[in-house]
Structure 1
Amino acid sequence: MNKYIKTLGMVLSAILITVVSLIPAPVITQAQPNNIEAKSAILVDAQTGQILYEKEADLALPPASMTKMMTEYLVLEAINNGDISWDTTTTISDYAYWLSDNDAFSGIGLRQNKEYTVEELYTAMAVNSDNATTVALAELVAGSESEFVKMMNQKAQEMGLQDAEFVNATGLSNSDLGEHHPEGTGADADNYLSAKSVALLAYHLINDYPEALDYSSITESKLDDESFTNWNWMLPGMPGQLEPFGYEGLDGMKTGWTDMAGYCFTGTAERNNRRLISVVMQTDSKEARFEETKKLLDYGFNQTEVKEIFPADYQQEDESTLNVAKGKGKSVEIATDEAIRGVVPSGEENPYEIEFTLDKSKLNDDGKLTAPIEEGDAVGTAKISYTGEELFGYITDDISNEQAKAQVVTQSNVEKANWFTLTFRAIGDFFSDLFGGIVDWVKGLF
């Protein structure tokens, strides 16, 4: 009896172990960060433009020296257009010298009897957030800071920075500049940007001119025998007591501080070929802006990933073919021309739907394509839409339209049928329609 009970116990234990092993392990997820200690913040995937987190991200606030990212963009654009080069030299105006010589603006101490290259000035601007070199570059590109401010606001419109208002190239308050504030701007005016617009500016800077990261990632540099250290403490390899703030993969982008703005930071990091952009505005201290950035980046890298949502050559089950008029074949298959990728938060399998939209201008009145048709002809678009709960859309509609869709294209050639085939097909259709009408008429008698 005891032997029987012992055997039964072993069998039941084996069954229990088997059942437990079949139960899927729970997916461990980290909720959206809800304790970001900043007045405004945002986290964006730099490839897809999708917003992974936001807090008061549309609130326009003074961005302080994060303003300089627009100055960097316009300088790099001028280099790209051939208007200036990295080796172009310029001298220092009285205004730029005043900024450089003023201890309140932490200037490097430029000389007026020397010519500086664009690269020297740009490095000091990007690494040390130097205001005098920023003004010198603005004057070189546009002739004056006032004209440069017009270029900044024009570029902001082109980029879709809807709430942007630039009044100077540096991010200082105009009240700090006194009589030197740019002509056409208010004496007490300030630059204004929302966290979303700052992130969008960084998105364009990184994607249009990735060489900007070569400079924003410099930890230490020198100009006129004056050494300076990057204000971005999150760069790996920062010297001394700053090193504990280092964040793997972080290579930019811009710090900021004024009395009005508080402590701000635009950060960007790349890990495993994936880049994120974060912005925090109006934090309480130098340290806090980096601590809050770390929370955002950790969430993005650890709890979200970019996946192929729908593959290339994807076909909708009920929209896999289009009828063809005047062709040797009567239909043609259609599918997406490339894969569509999107961000997937942990615990969500595939929180997207896809919709095919045909280009009506490519169809005749009967909704058919007209032969001849070439393989790869675009006949519409396929766009994905997020159905989950963790993401916040795209940083702009333009980026959504660019990143969240693919072309729908034909999968084969369809030659135009000759007149003989078309004639007999028309005759066949005529008698088919006639016979169908007679059948319907006869059915109507009963």
Structure 2
Amino acid sequence: MQPRKTTWAGLVLVWLSLLALIFGAPTAQAAVNTNTIPVGGTAGVVFDLTSGKVLAAKDAATPHPLASLTKIVSLYLIRDAVAHGRLSWTDTATPTAAEVKLSKDTNLSNVPLAEKSYTVKELYDAGWIYSANVAVMLLANRLAGSQQAFIKEMQEHLTTLGIRDATLYTTSGLNNSLLPESMRVHGTPADGENKMSAADIGVVVRHLLQTYPDVLQDTQVVHKNFAVTASQTYAMTNWNALLTGNSLAQSDLPVDGLKTGTSDLAGQCLVATMPWQNRRLVSVLLHANGAETDDTKRFVQTAALLRAVNQAWRPVTLNRENTAKQKVKVTDGKQASTTLQLTKSVVGWAYQGQVVTPVRALPKTAALSAPVVKGRPTASTTLTKDTLGYLPQNDSQEISLAPTKSVAKLNFFERFLRWLGQLF
């Protein structure tokens, strides 16, 4: 293997990146467009789970049909109910004759049910692994008493997450037209279909995985048998073909979740997540391009999107050593100014090798009042935003700054003398 040759252009790029890291965002860097990664669908978003930093986006704020991605919200509520004692995994639900009949509709994603009791855990697994519509409807009834009451809980939950423009008609994501009229929520349109934006789906997923990271143990299951009766099982294969061990798994993309969705209006949709850079990536893709002639397109487009993000973006550590100290005035201090530095390291972001989220400089009018104590947090700032920003629930990251040296306060006589000097 030949050693890589260093070019003048390469040295210039390295120095520019270093200067950007140390001194903040120069005018040229502020103009960098970080929203250049193609998203192969009608809408989509990719983000870092921990920080909420958006790494790619397309029409992410517009509500679109989401089909079975609805189940992310529904199953979130079920997981939350178990955590808070409203349900237990061993509680049971029994389908009606009409629900059993609907569960055997081969045009819909379902596990076939019998008129017997199923545990909450069995139905929950069927919802994640096989996107079983009637299983999720049973869970909704078991928790809230009716589909309408559960949808109200879904809407209230979304509101607590700051989501107010979602449209929900069904607990499973099915279009109303696919349900018997007796199973539709009263007063909803005959062809009503749930809608949310890609960004809002991302917000839900972010809260879900941060609150209940064990959900990934369920979403990464590729094969599992569902016990229809004591003597009959139904083989479930996870619809997410990108999962490690599944049919379209990619060796460089260790996908371990999360959910598929398909309908005539929504097209092919996919939420995928995987470990990345000692962090976690989440992608949301709505209505994958080319799916009309190729039913693998949501997986192909998502794989391309994840690779592009992986190649373009890197988290970078901003700390005292590589971030410029900021000089501020000190009112009534024995020294006229002091310098501030970060109190702890923070994660910024580099795009195509260039830091695009440096620490934001304090305004020139910023000032501290003496006495000032070295190391004591006295001011705050944020990271500079690039063109993509963060998910709404983490719109800015506050960063504490502390003085590098103490500044004593002038006594009355000293302040008087300084006043005279300023006066004359």
For 1:374 and 1:312, the matched residues in 2 are separated by 20
Cross-structure match for 1:75 = 78
For 1:130 and 1:71, the matched residues in 2 are separated by 12
Shift of 1:113: 2.5
1:354 matched to 2:356: no
1:248 matched to 2:262: no
Q: 1:22 to 1:216 in 2, by over 3 A?
A: closer
1:262 matched to 2:262: no
TM-score (norm 1): 0.76
1:221 matched to 2:214: no
Mark the structure with the bigger radius of gyration.
Answer: 1
Instruction: Output one character per residue of 1:135-159: Cα deviation in whole Å (capped at 9) or x when no partner.
Output: 1111122221111111111222222
1:144 matched to 2:135: no
Q: Match for 2:194 among 191, 196, 210?
A: 191
1:336 matched to 2:342: yes
AA matched with 2:258: M
2:200 partner SS: helix
In the TM superposition, what are the counterparts of 1:10-409 in structure 2 within 5 Å?
23-25=8-10, 32-34=36-38, 36-94=39-97, 96-114=99-117, 116-179=118-181, 180-224=183-227, 225-238=233-246, 242-243=247-248, 248-283=253-288, 284=291, 285-311=294-320, 316-319=325-328, 322-323=330-331, 334-349=340-355, 352-356=358-362, 368-369=368-369, 378-386=377-385, 391-396=387-392, 398-401=393-396, 404-409=397-402
| Range 290-299 or range 200-209, more displaced | 200-209
More helix by share: 1
For 1:21 and 1:410, the matched residues in 2 are separated by 39
Whether the 8 Å CA contact 2:374–2:402 is kept in 1: the answer is yes
Q: 1:304 to 1:427 in 2, by over 3 A?
A: closer
2:301 partner SS: helix
Whether the 8 Å CA contact 1:236–1:247 is kept in 2: the answer is no
Whether the 8 Å CA contact 1:222–1:228 is kept in 2: the answer is yes
Shift of 1:271: 2.9
For 2:46 and 2:275, the matched residues in 1 are separated by 13
**Which consecutive unaligned segments of at least 5 residues does structure 2 have?**
14-33, 228-232
Cross-structure match for 2:28 = none
TM-score (norm 2): 0.80
For 1:302 and 1:268, the matched residues in 2 are separated by 16
Whether the 8 Å CA contact 1:178–1:187 is kept in 2: the answer is no
Q: Match for 2:415 among 389, 408, 429?
A: 429
1:197 partner SS: helix
How much identity, in percent, do the aligned residues show? 25
Shift of 1:435: 7.3
Q: 1:410 to 1:433 in 2, by over 3 A?
A: closer
Q: 1:376 to 1:209 in 2, by over 3 A?
A: farther
AA matched with 1:227: A
Shift of 1:184: 4.5
Instruction: Output one character per residue of 1:90-117: Cα deviation in whole Å (capped at 9) or x when no partner.
Output: 3334554343233332421223222x22
AA matched with 1:237: G
Whether the 8 Å CA contact 1:146–1:184 is kept in 2: the answer is no
1:166 partner SS: coil
Whether the 8 Å CA contact 1:324–1:331 is kept in 2: the answer is no
For 2:141 and 2:70, the matched residues in 1 are separated by 16
Q: 1:329 to 1:39 in 2, by over 3 A?
A: closer
| Range 297-306 or range 340-349, more displaced | 340-349
Which is bigger in relative contact order (C-alpha 8 A, separation at least 6)? 2
Shift of 1:230: 0.2
Q: 1:405 to 1:434 in 2, by over 3 A?
A: closer
1:69 partner SS: helix
Q: 1:93 to 1:295 in 2, by over 3 A?
A: same
Q: 1:375 to 1:158 in 2, by over 3 A?
A: farther
What's the C-alpha RMSD, in Å, of the aligned pairs?
A: 3.4
**Which consecutive unaligned segments of at least 5 residues does structure 1 have?**
1-19, 361-366, 441-446
Shift of 1:329: 10
